[in-house]
């Protein structure tokens, strides 16, 4: 009896649940919070996303799901790319299921003109020669960037808080505005302008990704998607004396799991660097997250290992490295 590959409709809850179980089993050995709650996946994958189209792939043996794949094709920028994920149930690895999932997702990607594929593998910090690395090499994916996954215990943050506020004092010439997901009208255009510079500003290693414009309409559509799936993007903006948005940062908390948060985007306009805005914005978002969700226990972030400034800010907050993330790329 062979293993069959089938695309599943994410609105088919029984199939999606089996798919989610495979991913959970394949990530269960990892530290931190590597796999979303079922209630989150159940809502997120079927929901329309103006930023990306998903293909959900299952490897099925008889009546059992043994492998899970996901392809995400960006719809607003980087139309030459797609992101590939593959998970195999731990009792069914080394049978070629992972390779078949990746190859099938590549066919779907190529059929839509996507020739640059991205993927990720996670390792214990500093580990080399692991199974996922061997799998990446065997399927033709090269390492384009190295990142660290870091986790903050909020108790640690609380104990440093007053010192952090003092250190952020040079940022006092800027107003800090905070909001949950939906940006105030007065700032949305300037916020979009800053977001449009993101991919030019963050270290990307060899990843072939291009910056793109964020019109107010695009910002609003992305916000509505987050509202629709119950993801609270707790955001802080630094407003310069001339009223423009000089920097932004956010912490995301899903309604289905308010004990864990993830840092999203942090970005300070180059013209406004050197005033401790990165630190001030992170303190503002972490304070907002703690005030909104008193049961919050940890926050995760990932940054390129070469991103010295962001890593220094995260060190100050109390973040500790829990995994190494390899950003992979393959050109078809």
Ligand X SMILES: CC(C)(COP(=O)(O)OP(=O)(O)OC[C@H]1O[C@@H](n2cnc3c(N)ncnc32)[C@H](O)[C@@H]1OP(=O)(O)O)[C@@H](O)C(=O)NCCC(=O)NCCS
Q: Which residues bind ligand X (CB under 6 A)?
A: 26, 85-88, 93-99, 119, 121, 131-132, 134-135, 138
Assess contact for 3 and 190: CB atoms under 8 A: no
Cβ closest to ligand X, residue 26 vs residue 284: 26
**CA-based angle 259:85:104, to the nearest 5?**
155
Q: Which is nearer to ligand X, 63 or 94 (CB)?
A: 94
CB atoms within 10 A of CB 17: 13
Say what the alpha-carbon torsion angle 306, 309, 311, 312 is, to the nearest 10 degrees.
Answer: 130
Q: Which of 285, 288, 291, 289 is nearest to 313 (CA)?
A: 285
Q: Could you tell me the two tokens for 46?
A: 């079927």
3 vs 96: CA distance, rounded Å: 10
Work out how close the CB of 92 gets to ligand X at its nearest, in angstroms, rounded to a whole number.
7
- 3-state SS class at 221: helix
Give the burial class of 186: count Cβ atoms within 10 A of its Cβ; 0-12 exposed, 13-18 middle, 19 or more buried: exposed
Q: CB of 59: closest distance to ligand X in angstroms? A: 8
CB of 159 to ligand X, least distance (A): 35
Residues 6+ apart with CB under 8 A from 286: 152, 154, 157, 251, 299, 317
CB of 49 to ligand X, least distance (A): 20
Among residues 97 and 233, whose Cβ is nearest to ligand X? 97
| Least distance (Å) between residue 121 CB and ligand X | 5
Cβ proximity to ligand X, 20 vs 87, nearer residue? 87
Shortest distance, position 76 Cβ to ligand X, whole Å: 23
Handedness of CA 158, 259, 147, 285 (dihedral sign): negative
Distance, in Å, from the CA atom of 245 to the CA atom of 177, rounded to the nearest integer, reads 10
Instruction: Kindly tell me which of 98 and 192 has the beta carbon lying closer to ligand X.
Output: 98
Give 160: exposed, middle or buried? Use CB within 10 Å, 0-12, 13-18, 19+. Answer: middle
* Closest CB to ligand X among residues 93, 302: 93
CB of 122 to ligand X, least distance (A): 6
Task: Pick the closer one to ligand X by CB: 135 or 174.
Answer: 135
């Amino acid at each position: 009896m062979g293993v069959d590959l089938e695309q599943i409709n994410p609105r088919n809850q029984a199939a999606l649940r089996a798919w989610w179980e495979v991913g959970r089993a394949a990530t269960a050995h990892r530290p931190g919070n590597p796999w979303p709650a079922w209630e989150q996946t159940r809502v997120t994958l079927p929901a329309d996303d103006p930023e990306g189209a998903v293909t959900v792939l299952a490897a099925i043996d008889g009546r059992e799901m043994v492998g899970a794949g996901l392809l995400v094709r960006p719809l607003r920028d980087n139309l030459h790319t797609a992101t590939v994920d593959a998970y195999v149930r731990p009792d069914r690895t080394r049978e070629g299921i992972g390779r078949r999932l990746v190859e099938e997702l590549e066919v779907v990607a190529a059929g839509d003109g996507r020739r640059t594929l991205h993927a990720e593998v996670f390792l214990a910090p500093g580990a080399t020669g692991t199974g996922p690395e061997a799998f990446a090499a065997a399927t033709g994916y090269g390492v384009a960037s190295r990142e660290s996954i870091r986790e903050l215990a909020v108790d640690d943050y609380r104990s440093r808080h007053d010192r952090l506020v003092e250190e952020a004092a040079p940022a006092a010439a800027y107003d800090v505005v905070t909001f949950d997901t939906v940006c105030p009208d007065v700032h949305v255009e300037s916020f979009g302008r800053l977001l449009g510079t993101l991919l030019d500003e963050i270290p990307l290693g060899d990843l072939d990704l291009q910056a793109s414009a964020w019109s107010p309409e695009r910002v609003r559509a992305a916000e509505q998607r987050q509202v629709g799936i119950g993801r609270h993007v707790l955001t802080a903006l630094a407003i310069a004396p001339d009223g423009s948005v000089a920097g932004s940062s956010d912490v995301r908390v899903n309604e289905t799991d308010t004990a864990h948060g993830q840092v999203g985007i942090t970005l300070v306009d180059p013209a406004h660097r050197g005033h401790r805005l990165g630190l001030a914005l992170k303190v503002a978002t972490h304070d907002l997250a703690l005030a909104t969700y008193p049961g919050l226990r940890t926050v995760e972030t990932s940054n390129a290992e070469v991103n010295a400034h962001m890593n220094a800010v995260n060190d100050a907050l109390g973040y500790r490295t829990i995994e190494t993330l390899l950003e992979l790329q393959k050109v078809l």
